[in-house]
C-alpha cells in the first residue's frame, strides 16, 4: 500500500475517533458531522480521486466557524492560559471554547495538507 494512501486512512481513523468522542457533546450533531466529514474526505482521497476544491472549501468553512470562537480564545490568552484539562464546568467556560477551537484547527490543518497534496486534476490522482 502506498505511504500516502496509508496516511490518508490513518487520518480518516483519527477524525472518525474525533467524531465518536463527540457523541456525548452537548451539541453532538455539529461536531460529529464536522469531524465525520473530514474523515470521509480522507477515505475518499485514499480510495478515489477527491477534487481538491472540496477539502479546500471545507477548510475555509471551518475557519469561519473558528472565527466565531476567537473571542473566547482571546479571553483565554488574556487570562494567562488557564488549564483546559480539567472537567468542563459552568465556572470555566474557556475549557470548551479552547478545546473546540483547537479541534477545528487540527481539522483545518489536515484539510490544508490534503488540499495541497491533491493533484489539480482528480483524474490524474
What is the arithmetic mean of pLDDT over 5-25?
95
pLDDT for res 111: 97
What is the arithmetic mean of pLDDT over 53-58?
94
- Write out the DSSP string of 28-75: HHHHHHHHHHHHHHHHHHHHS---THHHHHHHHHHHHHHHHHHHHHHH
Confidence of residue 124 (pLDDT cuts 50, 70, 90): low
d(CA 81, CA 87): 16
Of all residues in the chain, the percent with pLDDT exceeding 70 is 90
User: Whole-number mean pLDDT of the chain?
Assistant: 88
Determine the structural domain holding residue 74 and report its residue range: 3-124
Are 42 and 7 a contacting pair, CB within 8 Å?
no
What is the arithmetic mean of pLDDT over 31-36?
96
**pLDDT, tens digit (0-9, with 9 covering 90-100), for 34-45:** 999 999 999 999
pLDDT for res 122: 59
pLDDT for res 123: 59
Structurally, the chain folds into a number of domains equal to 1
pLDDT for res 43: 95
Are 55 and 118 a contacting pair, CB within 8 Å?
yes
Kindly report which listed range (4-8, 25-29, 108-112) carries the lowest average pLDDT score: 25-29
| Site of grid cell 470521509 | 40
Amino acid at each position: 500500500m502506498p505511504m500516502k494512501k496509508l496516511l490518508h486512512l490513518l487520518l480518516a481513523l483519527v477524525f472518525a475517533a474525533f467524531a465518536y468522542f463527540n457523541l456525548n457533546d452537548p451539541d453532538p450533531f455539529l461536531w460529529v458531522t464536522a469531524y465525520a466529514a473530514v474523515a470521509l474526505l480522507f477515505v475518499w482521497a485514499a480510495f478515489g480521486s477527491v477534487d481538491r476544491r472540496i477539502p479546500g472549501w471545507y477548510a475555509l468553512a471551518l475557519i469561519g466557524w473558528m472565527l466565531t470562537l476567537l473571542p473566547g480564545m482571546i479571553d483565554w490568552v488574556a487570562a494567562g492560559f488557564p488549564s483546559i484539562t480539567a472537567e468542563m464546568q459552568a465556572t470555566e467556560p474557556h475549557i470548551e471554547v479552547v478545546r473546540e477551537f483547537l479541534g477545528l484547527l487540527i481539522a483545518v490543518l489536515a484539510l490544508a495538507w490534503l488540499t495541497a497534496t491533491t493533484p489539480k486534476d482528480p483524474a490524474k490522482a
